[in-house]
Amino acid sequence: MAVPKRRKSRSTTRHRKAQYMKKLKYIKEGLSRCPQCDAVKRPHHICPNCGYYKDAQVVTIKEKTK
């Protein structure tokens, strides 16, 4: 089994953990971020903001007109 050569610094550990907790927060709430427009969306669903799903535009979103 592979064993880490050196102990990771407190800074490195905390930095990694912070990134993970940030991601975990969205998973807990049942949400994910759109990679296209960075809006909060439901996982495995088309983004309601830009209409993208898996790097391709699936639906054209009508822009709100006053």
**Residue 37 Cβ vs Zn ion, minimum distance, rounded to whole Å:** 3
Q: Toward Zn ion, which CB reaches closer, 3 or 55?
A: 55
Per the structure block, which two tokens stand in for 20? 């993970």
Q: Toward Zn ion, which CB reaches closer, 18 or 31?
A: 31
**Site mask, Zn ion, residues 23-62, x = CB under 5 A?**
-----------x-xx-x-------x-xx------------
Query: How far is the C-alpha of 19 from the C-alpha of 54, rounded, in Å?
Result: 23
Sign, CA torsion 19/25/39/66: negative
Q: Which helix (H) or strand (E) element contains residue 25?
A: helix 10-28
Binding site for Zn ion (CB under 5 A): 34, 36-37, 39, 47, 49-50
